[in-house]
Amino acid sequence: MAIPCPPFIGSEKLSVESGAMSPSSPSPLILTQDELKKIAAYKAVDFVQSGMVLGLGTGSTAKHAVDRIADLLHQGKLKDIVGIPTSKKTHQQAVSLGIPLSDLDSHPVVDLAIDGADEVDSNLNLVKGRGGSLLREKMIESACKKFIVIVDESKLVAHVGASGAMPVEVVPFCWKFTQDTLQNLFDYAGCVAKLRTDNGGEKIFVTDNGNYIVDLFFEKNIGDLNVASGAILRLAGVVEHGMFLDMATTVIVAGELGITIKNK
């Protein structure tokens, strides 16, 4: 059953005290990055309602949200939830926690997705996929009515690609040709393209879909993101890229001074 997500409060700020959100003065406690991630994840789950179809994100921040959803289900505070996982890893986590699962074939409209991000710019454009799950994440999060992104403040950037790799999922066939083409495409931004490897470079990283990932590193701002997106997707060997443009409806940012909610 599809239930609309409740409205969000623009520019809302909440302080963090003893690991919880409070409207009081900022906490003197110094929180770890993982504690900040957990606070953002729990805040996002506050917007989940019984009967929703949920996109279950992947990564260290989204893991906390999946854990919290399971806790509320077991407490009886949430009922009739259906989860659609964005990776095999999240699928395994949800199954182990007893969250009922389905897929886009059975539920083509998702009420709410909660996921992390590797970068968030001032327009709420994202870089995702440094964990390797960008294709399934984009498929599910493109189908949702509301997409809440949960991050700690270290993920905020001046422009896409500022803090590290922008992943591109490519087919294994002639991957080096595709890698070289991608690097040449963004030569103006000082791009270096690198095939992602596993186990200290001993083997090629393979996605849940059996593809490879080429990570693009930029020395400069790549400019118009929609133009860049179109240019990447026109390359025959490319499956999908890690720029999630104009997709996030809300970004919840956890920092040592509290929670900030940014709305589209």
CA-to-CA dists, residue 256 to 17, 19, 29, 88, 178, angstroms: 10, 10, 8, 32, 42
Of 12, 35, 119, 137, which residue is the catalytic one?
137
Judge contact between 244 and 195, C-beta under 8 A. no
Active site residue 12: no
- Beta-sheet pairing, 13-17 with 258-263: antiparallel
Burial class (CB in 10 A: 0-12, 13-18, 19+), 126: buried
Per-residue DSSP letter, 167: E
What radius of gyration do the chain's Cα atoms show? 19
Annotated active-site positions, please?
137
